[in-house]
Amino acid sequence: MRRSLFILHKYAGLTFGLLLSLIGVTGSLLVFDHALDERLAPETVRFNPSQQPATYAEVLAAAQAAVPGNPAPTRLMTPRQPGSPFVVRFPTPDGAPGPVEVSVSPTDAEVLAVRGWGEYTMTWIYRLHYTLLAGNTGKTLVGFMGIALLVFCISGLVIWWPRPSRNGKRWKRAFTIKRDGNRFRFYFDLHKVFGIYLLPALLAVAFSGVSIVFPLQVEKMVNWIMPLEPRGSWGQSQASGAPPLDPDSAVAIGREVFPRGELKRIYLPRDATDSYGLTFRQEGEPWTNHGASFVRLDQYSGEILMVHDITETAAGNQFLTWQFPLHNGDALGLIGRWLVLISGLAPALLFGTGFYLWWKKRRVKNSKRRTSEGSHRLSSIVRKGQGNPKHRAST
């Protein structure tokens, strides 16, 4: 079995390693995507301080006025940290890779930037990482690469596992890099040691990536192991002749449902029957820049149509909620982000060292084959010469 897994590990790595390296490196860049974006677009974080922050209605009105055609906004994302802007999203224009995003100052509702998602640097990298710039086809391919990474992890563990020994030296060698050996030995040790040390992180990143691309399939699998509550549904808003609630009033109602939660998103009604959606991050949730608990409100009366409290849901739902923040490292804080960043670079390192080992062995085999072929040709010439009458006469 070990031999079969070794062959699978080697040739699958040579086939998919370069693509996995690209996905991993772009994923590493995205670990600190918001911070990098604010560095690359400093205009989005330059605004005047104020004791009186802008209302949600003022932020939305300013953003809508800055977009050609004044389309209705679809979503408002609150500042991820002090000093960050509000981000208001609008529908995706024809032919564009993503929605229009308007960065707005949280203090005076000044429009700081109007950009197209998927066009500015960090979102372009996100598209490359998530879809390989190839839409749903690329997204599916990325999902299968996540499955391939899981196979690499499992097969690599079996290949790495030391055989029994009396003194335990094989276990010690399995975790160390021999520095006084030749180059081949060094790259071999580098490949196995980095692979085994980063194995838990690679498994978590691979599985969480697969769950993001194939959520329904992963939900079914999780439901076999632990309880999982089905996705809920909410009713429609009932037009009563009254004007729709303004977003500040909707947020005030939502805060009564989650008084200790931090507002993260406002999903605005898209038509006359749609509802407000408010997401809150509660204490203990793993993802700091997103809220997994949410409430839906009738856009006219403010009636609560649905409440989803992630802290009170089944274990399977909570397990799935952890997948994205595990994928970007947010669930484990700054240490987790750096760990995911390093593990994102691991496929490139493992592919590079693995390719070198394969190439070196191939050169040695080719050299031995040429030497063997040369010896056979020389022996054949000698035998033919010995069988020639003139040769025998001369001798």
Structural domain of 350: 1-37+129-229+315-364
Whether residues 133 and 225 share a domain: the answer is yes
pLDDT of residue 1: 78
Residue 375 lies in a domain: no
> 208, 328 in Cβ contact below 8 A?
no
Look at the chain and report how many structural domains it folds into: 3
Whether residues 207 and 326 share a domain: the answer is yes
Q: Which of 236-240, 253-257, 383-387 has the highest mean pLDDT?
A: 253-257
Residue 374 lies in a domain: no
Whether residues 151 and 202 share a domain: the answer is yes
Residue 243 lies in a domain: yes
Whether residues 320 and 225 share a domain: the answer is yes
> What is the residue-averaged pLDDT of the chain?
91
Whether residues 137 and 221 share a domain: the answer is yes
Whether residues 223 and 238 share a domain: the answer is no
Q: Which of 231-235, 352-356, 389-393 has the highest mean pLDDT?
A: 352-356
pLDDT at 233 exceeding the cut of 80 = no
* Residue 137: count of CB within 10 angstroms of its CB: 10
pLDDT of residue 374: 65
Whether residues 245 and 327 share a domain: the answer is no
Whether residues 295 and 350 share a domain: the answer is no
- Closest C-alpha to 132, from 212, 19, 17: 19
Whether residues 10 and 71 share a domain: the answer is no
Task: Examine the fold and report which residue of 63, 84, 119 is the final residue of a domain before the chain moves on.
Answer: 119
Whether residues 299 and 155 share a domain: the answer is no
Q: At what angle do helices 333-386 and 2-30 cross, to 10 degrees?
A: 140
Residue 373 lies in a domain: no
The amino acid present at 325, given as its one-letter code, is P
pLDDT class of 395 with cuts at 50, 70, 90: very low
**Span of 22-36, 40-54, 372-386 with lowest mean pLDDT:** 372-386
| More confident call, 48 vs 255 | 255
The amino acid present at 175, given as its one-letter code, is F
Residue 385 lies in a domain: no
The amino acid present at 184, given as its one-letter code, is F
pLDDT class of 381 with cuts at 50, 70, 90: low
* Residue 136: count of CB within 10 angstroms of its CB: 8
Residue 378 lies in a domain: no
Whether residues 324 and 357 share a domain: the answer is yes
pLDDT at 135 exceeding the cut of 90 = yes
pLDDT of residue 141: 97
Whether residues 243 and 98 share a domain: the answer is no
Exposure on the CB side of residue 281, measured as CA atoms within 13 A: 16
